[in-house]
Amino acid sequence: MAVIETPTTWFEDLVDNVGKFQPVLLGCVRSELEKLASGQGRKSRTARVCLDMASKFATLPCGTASADDEIVSAALSRGALVATVDKELARAAKGAHLTVVSLRKGRVAVS
């Protein structure tokens, strides 16, 4: 949702930093966005825009763990990067030795 709330050139920045990639959205994250999108207000509108943008992304199933744990697990099993602005998720991903993509000052940062 961060790239919608603060418009960026995230896709181009990512290609410049990591090369060609396939965005993936986990089913449990999609469900969270759908719940947010069903409401009213700015956050709901942002979630609807995210869902529209993510309609082109591949969707992977989730298990029964928390969304953050599922994201880390999926990234580990697929050798993927984790894109987030959530500090706790970034910390967990880095703790699992995953590359984290985030936003700093409106630009993509890879760490």
Nearest CA to 98 out of 54, 60, 78, 108 is that of: 78
Give the domains, in start order, of the chain with CATH numbers.
2-110 (3.40.50.1010)
pLDDT tens, residue order, the chain (111 aa): 766 777 677 778 788 888 888 899 999 999 999 999 999 999 999 999 999 989 999 999 999 999 999 999 999 999 999 999 899 999 999 999 999 999 887 778 888
* Angle, CA 15 vertex, CA 11 and CA 20 arms, to 5°: 110
Q: CA 23 to CA 51: how far, in whole Å?
A: 13
State the pLDDT at residue 105.
78
Residues 20/57/67/29 CA torsion (nearest 10 deg): 150
DSSP letter at 93?
Answer: H
Q: CA 104 to CA 107: how far, in whole Å?
A: 5
Q: How is residue 15 written in tokens?
A: 């290609």
**What's the whole-model pTM score?**
0.84
Nearest CA to 30 out of 56, 8, 7 is that of: 56
State the pLDDT at residue 92.
97
